[in-house]
Structure 1
């Protein structure tokens, strides 16, 4: 069953039976250097077992996502980043992870790292540990490259792109290899106090994205851990972070149409309900604009008004109130699982797709902050 009320559209799906209904709702306005040994690796792995949300770190329980941040600004990174790099970054959904600082990683040694990782994968394949990817593969070729222009602050290390190429074993000899796995490590607007406290031999690229075979992802991570004495961990995108993305992306609507604001909640009832809430972009903008216009909320930063967590909370609560008015169902009863607009999409499971280069820096800044907070340091 589907219902419509001007401005908003919503569907409710019974996760077990597949039944659905919908509605639109009306609009309203100097640390100690770490040694490379098994004890260090084991201590990090023990930390990885501790569960935590994106906004709360098990080792640093007093730290949370910033409660105020700059409003999104247009970044014309197409002038700095090569088109082929942007093409890879923007056409893929990435699975996120955090990675601890890399010991003795050098951007000048990427050609050597390409050869080492290729040899590592080949060795694992000979031992039967590298499961076939997209059919029988004859060989794997790895390429590391720097992505110039993908930094924002002076302390940010250059973004590194990794690609694994291969071709079917029985393909013609003249057939070129194709990418079967891609990944990147980045640090955008990293915490300067933390970055400056690292010893000289450590490089911090805390945000890791991967796309492709899970087996290859594990092999790449294993090689990094053995080579640079680092550890990887799953990076969920917490509900707080999803709220931030919904608000920040909506804030961009006047300059770049978000086309629609789509939010998905999971309500823990029996059977479980999935609620998909799609908001007309102008109605989302009107609600956000009214919240931003409220007296006493002026907060000018160096680059214009900042956005506060109180505004974000009121925005999300306003959307929930509209839903409750028509369905008598409180969305606060379940977790927000996904947010998407024309600018990108993000899932609680740690998957992100960035669809607009002009706001890529804003999105990656938030995710970098979350990666640094999640690290068990």
Structure 2
């Protein structure tokens, strides 16, 4: 199947105490969030009026093959540059109550004042000039929707001077945030009451203290709730398949995976595959599928193809290194089009397939939401 083996693996131990502390931290935060949510958001859930049928969402097992979108003609170049150069830490956010895209200028002032109040209490000042005020800007990102039901994407930027900056140096963007909704389930969106706006995917880039303040302001202002958005094993596999499917139009340059295998001590395996080899394997999986249907089948990808693709990669690795990746967990995938980590860190490097990637992440956010 692979003409030339350019895949390789790097093995290194991971500190078991560190892994245990991380696992305990995640468990503690998850329990805390669930308790906080149940006690403080009952009224919001009641106002939404959602039924169990509407909240019983499942990740799609079938998707349309990714299409190239030339969004450079629609999206502001400066905004697009930020979106494609930034690694985002992802969260989900429940529907925003009485959020209005027409009030973004007012929100900028309100959030600036909220951060200033937090700054007086000693929050979020550890890496910024204490003599410089934070300036916040909200803006709409045009051209980032896929359907008429999607709300416009909102970009949030916080500007300030880092510590040790020259006195005459202008303020720089020290924190960025993104609220978006791409190709969300229309049935769910139409079920929301009039005063709720659904922007379920939240990305942040910058100091954690500022992220916490921004989330706190949103929660107080729009009666919403944030939660961590890890990228599941299945979603990482979907990203691998979708990106590989784009190879003939936009070279993926490499297909890189990072796995963690249970061992004593645990092993981290880096597995990189030549793009032509990955494409050859993916093409063989697609040809088997294409024999079963017409044009509609050719334009769709289903979970069986994704699973077969992954199994082929794991079998190839086992033949050469005698390590069964099925026993471990997939933690990270990357190509020239983007990278994603199970911890919820995401970077989209190619704007032509940004819509496809954000649509999958929007679906993940809606699936993870408690309401």
Establish whether TM, by shorter chain, passes 0.5.
yes
Distance change >3 Å, CA 284–CA 183, structure 1 → 2: same
Q: Does 1:373 align with 2:371?
A: no
Equivalent in the alignment of 1:6: 4
Q: Does 1:102 align with 2:96?
A: yes
1:269, distance to aligned residue in structure 2 (A):
1.0
Q: How does 1:323-338 map to 2 (within 5 A)?
A: 323-338=317-332
Equivalent in the alignment of 1:111: 105
Q: How does 1:295-334 map to 2 (within 5 A)?
A: 296-298=291-293, 300-301=295-296, 305-334=299-328
Flag structure 1 segments of 5+ consecutive residues without an equivalent. Answer: 18-37, 48-57
1:93·1:352 contact (CA, 8 Å) conserved in 2? yes
2:261·2:328 contact (CA, 8 Å) conserved in 1? yes
Question: TM-score, normalised to structure 1's length?
Answer: 0.85
Equivalent in the alignment of 1:233: 227
Between stretches 91-100 and 268-277, larger displacement belongs to 268-277
Equivalent in the alignment of 1:275: 269
Q: Does 1:222 align with 2:183?
A: no
Equivalent in the alignment of 1:42: 40
Tell me how far apart the structure 2 counterparts of residues 59 and 134 of structure 1 sit (CA, whole Å): 47
1:133, distance to aligned residue in structure 2 (A):
2.6
Q: How does 1:116-265 map to 2 (within 5 A)?
A: 116-134=110-128, 136=130, 138-168=132-162, 174-265=168-259
Distance change >3 Å, CA 203–CA 14, structure 1 → 2: same
Tell me how far apart the structure 2 counterparts of residues 64 and 39 of structure 1 sit (CA, whole Å): 21
Q: Deviations over 1:77-132 (max 9, x none)?
A: 00100100001000010000000000000000000000000000001111223332
Tell me how far apart the structure 2 counterparts of residues 197 and 168 of structure 1 sit (CA, whole Å): 44
Distance change >3 Å, CA 312–CA 354, structure 1 → 2: same
The structure 2 residue matched to 1:15, chosen from 13, 20, 45, is 13
**CA RMSD, Structure 1 to Structure 2 (Å):** 2.4
Flag structure 2 segments of 5+ consecutive residues without an equivalent. Answer: 16-35, 46-51
Tell me how far apart the structure 1 counterparts of residues 131 and 160 of structure 2 sit (CA, whole Å): 6
Number of residue pairs matched by the alignment: 342
SS in structure 1 opposite 2:60?
A: coil
More helix by share: 2
1:10·1:275 contact (CA, 8 Å) conserved in 2? no
